[in-house]
């Protein structure tokens, strides 16, 4: 019986497409959850926000579950990239995987504040000590806390891009330009993190970081999914 053994390049190509597929599903899930949750929020109006949440509590909970699913997909995509890029440099691949895990852990923890809002809306007896307007203010407070906690994850979101970009650049089977853009995006994302805490009213960096981030991460995703990996020796 003849058994055809898959070529090394075939394995790399398969890993590349799997990484691209997982990253695409993560991005879509994350965007849908964010947009859907934002539709419940009326900036500066706690009463209107709580009213919208109470009108559709199940849908609001789905957005929180969607965030958790997106976080899990984010780590799975990072794991697939680790498998793909480990032959280039195992230590750097492990570094970006651990940084990604740090981001995922913080993202999941931040979603606890969304479930806290759900508890506030359930009307348990121990909440009777609060007035209605106090509960509404607490709900907005938890939404703001969730936003701040999620922003902390940006530190790891930015940091993991540099070793990832470097390995893409050195791989020899992925475009060097993608690696360069990812490494540059590392610094713009880290700048956005520091700007959000130190200069919250200064949004100029955001105008650069977000478009560059879309180009870098969506570009990598699209290349992995459509083109796969070139048959070429590592640099």
Residue 90 lies in a domain: yes
Q: Is 202 left (phi over 0), alpha (psi -120 to 50) or beta?
A: beta
Closest CA to 49 of 150, 137, 146, 115: 137
Residue 199 lies in a domain: no
If you write DSSP's letter for every residue of 172-227 in order, what string do you get? SSS-HHHHHHHHHHHHHHHHHHHHHHH-TT--HHHHHHHHHHHHHHHHHHHIIIII
Return mean pLDDT, the chain.
87
The whole-number pLDDT of residue 128 equals: 78
Residue 123 lies in a domain: yes
The whole-number pLDDT of residue 15 equals: 87
Rg of the Cα atoms in the chain:
21
Residue 211 vs residues 153, 159, 207, 214: alpha-carbon distances, Å: 19, 18, 7, 5
- Position 157 pLDDT exceeds 80: yes
Residue 72 lies in a domain: yes
- Position 171 pLDDT exceeds 80: yes
**Lookup: tokens for 196:** 């959000």
- Position 2 pLDDT exceeds 50: no
- Which residue has better confidence, 231 or 5? 231
Considering its fold, how many domains does the chain have in total?
1
Q: Rounded distance, CA 151 to CA 106, Å?
A: 9
Residue 208 lies in a domain: no
Say if residues 60 and 37 touch (Cβ distance below 8 Å).
yes
The whole-number pLDDT of residue 24 equals: 94
Q: What is the pLDDT of residues 95-124, one digit of tens each?
A: 999 999 999 999 999 999 999 988 888 777
Residue 223 lies in a domain: yes
Q: Rounded distance, CA 56 to CA 102, Å?
A: 32
- Which residue has better confidence, 229 or 93? 93
Q: What is the pLDDT of residues 42-78, one digit of tens each?
A: 988 888 988 999 888 889 999 999 999 999 999 999 9
CB atoms within 10 A of CB 170: 16
- Domain coverage including residue 86: 8-151+217-227
**Lookup: tokens for 134:** 């106090």
Closest CA to 153 of 228, 75, 63, 220: 75
Residue 202 lies in a domain: no
- Position 234 pLDDT exceeds 70: no
**Lookup: tokens for 98:** 């651990």
Residue 66 lies in a domain: yes
| 16-30, 31-45, 192-206, 214-228, range with the lowest pLDDT | 192-206
Calculate the dihedral angle through the C-alpha atoms of 74, 75, 79, 85, rounding to the nearest 10 degrees.
60
């Amino acid at each position: 019986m003849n058994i055809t053994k898959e070529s090394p390049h075939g394995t790399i190509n398969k890993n590349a497409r799997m990484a691209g597929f997982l990253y695409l599903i993560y991005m879509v899930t994350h965007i849908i959850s964010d947009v859907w949750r934002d539709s419940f929020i009326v900036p500066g109006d706690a009463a209107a926000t709580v009213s919208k949440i109470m009108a559709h509590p199940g849908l609001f909970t789905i957005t929180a579950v969607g965030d958790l699913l997106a976080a899990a997909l984010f780590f799975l995509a990072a794991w697939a990239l680790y498998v793909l890029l480990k032959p280039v440099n195992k230590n750097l691949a492990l570094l970006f995987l651990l940084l990604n895990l740090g981001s995922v852990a913080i993202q999941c923890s931040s979603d606890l504040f969304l479930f806290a809002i759900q508890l506030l809306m359930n009307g348990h007896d121990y909440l009777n000590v609060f007035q209605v307007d106090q509960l509404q203010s607490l709900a907005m407070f938890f939404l703001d806390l969730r936003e701040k906690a999620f922003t902390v994850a940006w530190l790891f979101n930015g940091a993991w891009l540099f070793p990832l970009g470097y390995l893409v650049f050195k791989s020899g089977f992925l475009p060097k330009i993608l690696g360069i853009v990812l490494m540059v995006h590392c610094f713009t994302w880290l700048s956005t993190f520091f700007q959000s805490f130190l200069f919250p009213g200064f949004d100029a960096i955001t105008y650069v970081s977000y478009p560059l981030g879309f180009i870098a991460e969506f570009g990598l995703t699209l290349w992995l999914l459509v083109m796969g990996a070139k048959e070429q020796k590592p640099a």
